[in-house]
Chains A and B, each alone.
Chain A
Amino acid sequence: MRDFSYLRANSVDAACQAAALPGAMLLAGGTTLIDLAKCGVTEPETVVDISHLKGLDTITVDDRGVTIGALARMSSVADHAEIKSRFPAVSEALWQAASAQLRNMATIGGNLMQRTRCPYFRDPANFPACNKRTPGSGCSAIGGVTRGHAVLGTSEACIATYPGDLATALVAFDATVHLGDRQVAADDFFLLPGATPHREHAIEPGEVITAISIPASAAAGRSTYLKVRDRQSYEFAAASAAVGIEFEADGRTIRDLRVALGGVATKPWRARAVEEALKGKLLEADIVKQASLLAIEGAVDHGANHYKIELAPRVVARAILKVGETA
């Protein structure tokens, strides 16, 4: 790890100013920044420590929804009683992510800024070609070992999977990312790779994530996060789904449905086609399974990741049936 200057910010304004300096990077929980600095992926000139800032870790719940300060730890959000009861998919996405130690360190703002786990991206010494690290250098993953790579939202420049769980739930329930006074819809905060895979987030130099907010909804209240992975715990998703459902008064006809996928796309992937296909329909296994196939419309595999195209719709269907059938 290359050495850097260390600066403790004592206010959000000071953090914004310091973050605008060339080569400056913000340090909150450190689980991404220090990890990637050790890999040689990031080489900050100055590390701006914001982890001691006061007042940015509060969780506020009212009738309209929840606002979560950017420095709230993943573990405290996962365990928050009202998030568990009113946004279960958010709590489940968080406690199924990483490990207990990492969840105690990682902040909500930092979680949004986590980078892909693409092994080629993480290994600059052996794989100099990576359009995400070095624009125009090529992609080592295309034609390489692709078992974990994305099948949705890919481009000729990049097929790296977005690895996070929380953001999958956030895009499903129309969350907003607060960058001081500027607000960005979670779905717009994460960028498709296109020809510019080095640009991952709609955040500008000198901006700091201060909070996220999630509007209350019946679908968020009746929701789940289903994560399928290579081992039972402490692993990234092979495919995952954040699903929320609201029924008409009959208790069987779907009034509102939210579906987002993780582990299969280059960004948290809202599956609106599935939602639209099932609104107004009865919750029946055959109908749900058929509609869930729409989740992978346009999917392109690179050989070893073909299984995700079969797996993702099954995960979506299972999640919809699970959350729909439990009272």
Chain B
Amino acid sequence: MTSKTRIPIQLQINGHRHELEVEPRVTLLDALRDHLGLTGTKKGCDQGQCGACTVHIDGQRVLACLTLAAQAQGRAVTSIEGLADGDGTLHAVQAAFLEQDAFQCGYCTPGQIMSAVACIREGHAGSDDEIREYMAGNLCRCGAYPHIVAAVRQAALEVASSMETAS
């Protein structure tokens, strides 16, 4: 299965299966944005340094700019477009970002939100210091960090209390 031109790949994104033909060098980020029109995932540095392209693969937060699309075959990819419920109800982290005004220009926000969802799920949102440490891979050039920390803290509390209610 070697080809230098284009290879057929299947991707599972936000619960939907997509078939496309790409050059092997195409990253998951470019596949999402340029091939599938899912432009919510942002290209910041394209070099693994800013976190704007954060998506989930099999539930783990990763950088789409350093992942080949071909590598993501057979894995479940979630992008920012797949976070809200089908009826448009926002995820707790999305709602918290709105409520806490946790952005200015908004360019880093999809990556921040995807990272925050995973940060909370991993159990790394226990204090402001821990949130800062485990959100360090998402840069915000506007400097909205204090509000981002507040939003993650709020969402972490809401997720914890909803889990208590459920159990």
Contacts and interface: CB of A to CB of B under 8 A. Distances in A.
Given A3-B25, A6-B7, A100 B137 contact: yes
Interface residues of A, number: 32
A51 B124 CA distance: 26
18 contacts: A3-B25, A4-B4, A4-B24, A6-B24, A8-B70, A31-B63, A34-B27, A34-B65, A51-B71, A100-B115, A100-B118, A100-B124, A100-B136, A101-B54, A101-B137, A105-B66, A232-B136, A233-B132
B140 to A, nearest CB: 13
Interface in B19-35: 23-25, 27
A104 interface: yes
Contacts of A325: none
A303 to B, nearest CB: 26
A291 interface: no
Given A30-B71, A35-B66, A47-B68, A102 B48 contact: yes
A46 interface: yes
B136 A102 contact: no
B117 to A, nearest CB: 12
Nearest to B124: A100
A6 B136 contact: no
A47 B67 CA distance: 13
A99 B51 contact: yes
5 interchain residue pairs of minimum CB distance: A99-B137, A6-B24, A233-B136, A234-B136, A5-B2
Contacts of A5: 2-4, 24
Nearest to A104: B60
B85 interface: no
A8 B1 contact: yes
A211 B139 CA distance: 33
A6 B137 CA distance: 28
A1 interface: yes
B118 A6 contact: no
B119 interface: yes
A75 B57 CA distance: 14
> Which of A6, A34, A38, A104 is packed against the most chain B CB atoms within 10 Å?
A6
A49 interface: yes
Interface in A1-59: 1-8, 27, 30-31, 34-35, 37-39, 46-47, 49, 51-52
A37 B47 CA distance: 10
A4 B71 contact: no
Contacts of A47: 24, 68
A57 to B, nearest CB: 13
A135 to B, nearest CB: 26
Given A1-B25, A47-B24, A104-B60, A27 B134 contact: no
Interface of A: 1-8, 27, 30-31, 34-35, 37-39, 46-47, 49, 51-52, 75, 98-102, 104-105, 232-234
Contacts of A51: 71
B122 interface: yes
B61 interface: yes
Contacts of B68: 6, 27, 30, 34, 47, 49
Nearest to A38: B47
A98 B137 contact: yes
A49 B71 CA distance: 7
Given A99-B51, A105-B63, 7 more contacts: A4-B25, A6-B2, A30-B67, A30-B71, A100-B61, A101-B137, A232-B133
B61 A104 contact: yes
